[in-house]
Amino acid sequence: MKNVAVVLSGCGVFDGAEIYESVLTLLALDTHGAKYQCFAPDMQQYHVINHLTGEEMEGERRNVLVEAARIARGEINKLEDLDVKDFDALLLPGGFGAAKNLSDFALKGSDCTVQPQVERVCKAFAEKGKPAGYLCIAPAMLARIYGRDVKLTIGNDAETAKAITDMGAEHINCAVTDVVEDTDHKLVTSPAYMLAQNIGEAAKGINKLVDKVLGMA
């Protein structure tokens, strides 16, 4: 049975992990007969968004690990405790938390950096030749993980794609129900809610991504 590490970035599309993407990822893993363990960095998230109004909640402070535990039903570990040798593959759902908490892509674009614990973990999977899947906006950090020749998709948003190519990655336009495979790096990406108009569309791409990643493991 394959064992997969899933890294979450909080809870909620605008300031954490995209909840539908996260749950669909876990469901796809279970459907494919894989085990999984959720992880998140124990750190303060960049900011807190009121998901009813879309406005920032001034003075509100939340912890990425504590918020991500909502999605994982409390079954979650600190990212610092993730040991690559215990897992066959890595998955990162999207949501703006990937671009605000796991990295600062949302703020700095092509000048972004990856949060140190996240960088350590993701690079460890890459260096061990273990497969990984990144969803939605999460692939924006991949040039910092795999280097300048990595192939990926975030869908077809021109501005985001330009920032990614400016970092040296190769962006490939992709439909929401499809994936982009970089076989050299054992890497699979899919647009999910960068393009999805409903949960069914997101599910098709996520299921395909999980299937491809497990097939590489």
User: Annotated active-site positions, please?
Assistant: 136
Burial of 128 (0-12, 13-18, 19+ CB in 10 A): exposed
**Helix (H), strand (E), coil (C) string for 148-179:** CCCEECCCCCHHHHHHHHHCCCEECCCCCCCC
Bridge pairing between strands 151-152 and 35-40: unpaired
Eight-class DSSP state of 92 = E
Contact (Cβ atoms closer than 8 angstroms) between residue 179 and residue 205 = yes
Structure tokens at 195: 């393009």
